[in-house]
Structure 1
Amino acid sequence: MGVRDTYRHGDLSRALVEAGVELARAGGPTAVALRAATRRAGVSPNAAYRHFADRGALLEAVCSAGQARVAEAIEAEQALIPDATDPVTAARLRFRAVGTGYLHFALAEPGLFQTAFTASPDLESATSGSRAGAVGRGPFELLTDALDRLVAVGVLPGGRRPGAEFLAWSAVHGLAMLLINGPLRALEAGQAEVLIRRVVDMVEQGL
């Protein structure tokens, strides 16, 4: 069966994105290249250009795929919250799960995590469906939802809500980069987990 037959009933675009995801996992954003992706997908370089105009377009698609997986990691963390938890505690736990899910993904998939936040020049694409997890919300939207819920249950004063997502995101993303690509990368897993918990504590208390 030839390459053309292999993808006759499939999605070559998706195959190239998945190839790009694997490249990102192995080497971060700099490893994502059209030619390398076509080799992994088993197609000719010319085939890639029928789906992606250039490397930047492929990187953007891989970025979206990566953010969708970050969202899924956050959702998995939120799914661990007991159903019987009272509304206030549930809101706080769901907010904390955004940070812990985000950071756990960064540690588990450092290359893809770094790639996931490389290509976007602004927040316009943060609500794109291509970046959503199973519940249809991307990582940024899951964070804003959790903050809005804190306001709804009276934990976070409404006057402190504007811009809170940027403060929370900055703190956890900064720790993620220190842990995966900075001076904290040599910490043992237990030490990293303590830092994750304390940074999330700091963010929750600081809001």
Structure 2
Amino acid sequence: MTTLETRTYHHGDLRRVLIEEGLELARAGGPDAVTLREVTRAVGVSPNAAYRHFADRQDLVRAVAADSQNALAKAIAARVEATPADLSPAAASVERLRRIGLAYIQFAREERGWFELAFAVQDEEPSVGIVTLDDEVVAPFQLLLDALDGMVAAGALNAARRPAAEWACWSAVHGFADIAVHGPLQWQPPPVIDALAAAVVEAAITGVRGTDAPV
């Protein structure tokens, strides 16, 4: 047993160390880079040590994906928390949804590996209409649900238009993010992508609300 393996077992944090190494691998190479062989090699422990914490590679990938989702949620939350305080409740609720979309796209562009991994795995049989991992709603998706519910509460979104609105928003924003990262937009100057991202997010908001009238 290596010195690091002894130390991590002593402190009970080898699982955490392996996940963090998986995050570093995913950040550079996406989901395919996260393997038990590579994380144990990088950490300096035997593969058998990893199997005491993860049943197989998929188990490891799920754990790393959960952290990737949390990183995305943190980036979104930071942008949402910066919503101007002088807006009306209705305008603020719309602005929060706008910021969620823009933060999602920005994260995809800045953290491609984590973005690719974040939704590479999820529960195969969740409750209808939600996205879960290990029976918990994934954090970025919960932020979107909360923002849309907040719009209804603030009078910025008709309750009749609320059902499935998260899927319309997510489809538009995720589709654009994928095009920006992997498609023809990846070669465009950042200001061009920024402008197009803003247009897509506005279109998604307009489509969900059913109006382009100001709040």
Aligned counterpart for 2:78 among listed residues 76, 79, 83:
76
- Percentage identity across paired residues of the two chains: 44
Q: What letter is aligned with 1:56?
A: Q
Larger radius of gyration: 2
Superposed CA offset, 1:6-61 (max 9, x none): 21215111111111111111111111101101122221111110001111001111
Partner of 2:159: 158
Which position in structure 2 is the counterpart of 1:139?
Answer: 140
Distance 1:200 1:17 in 2: 33
- Give me the whole-angstrom Cα distance separating, in 2, the residues matched to 1:176 and 1:40: 31
Using the alignment, how far apart are the partners of 2:145 and 2:107 within structure 1? 19
Q: Contact conserved, 2:5 with 2:44, CA < 8 A, in 1?
A: no
Mapping 1:113-132, distance limit 5 Å? 113-122=115-124, 123-125=131-133, 128=136, 131=138
Aligned-pair CA distance for 1:167: 0.7
Residues 139-177 of structure 1: per-residue CA shift (max 9 Å, x gap): 000000000011111111111100000110011000111
Q: Which residue number corresponds to residue 102 of structure 1?
A: 104
Taking structure 1 as reference, are residues 4 and 37 closer, same or farther at Cα in structure 2, changes over 3 Å only? closer
Counterparts of 1:180 and 1:6 in 2: how far apart (Å)? Answer: 40
Partner of 2:89: 87
Q: What's the offset of the Cα at 1:88?
A: 1.2
Matches of 1:85 and 1:20 in 2, distance apart? 41
Structure 2 equivalent of residue 43 of structure 1: 45
Structure 1 unaligned regions, length at least 5: 132-137
Q: Partner of 2:177 in structure 1?
A: 176
Q: 2:127: which partner in 1?
A: none
Distance 1:173 1:126 in 2: 22
Correspondence for 1:149: 150
Q: Which runs of 5+ in 2 are unaligned?
A: 125-130, 209-215
Amino acid at match of 1:39: R
Q: 2:91·2:156 contact (CA, 8 Å) conserved in 1?
A: no
CA distance in 2, matches of 1:40, 1:187: 35
| Match in the other structure for 2:203 | 202
1:124, CA displacement in angstroms?
Answer: 3.1
Match of 2:69 in 1: 67
Tell me how far apart the structure 2 counterparts of residues 20 and 156 of structure 1 sit (CA, whole Å).
40
Measured on the aligned residues, the alpha-carbon RMSD in Å equals 1.6
Distance 1:60 1:171 in 2: 25
User: Does the C-alpha gap of structure 1 residues 104 and 126 become closer, same or farther in structure 2, counting only changes over 3 Å?
Assistant: farther
4+ long deviations beyond 3 Å:
none
Per-residue deviation, 1:126: 8.2
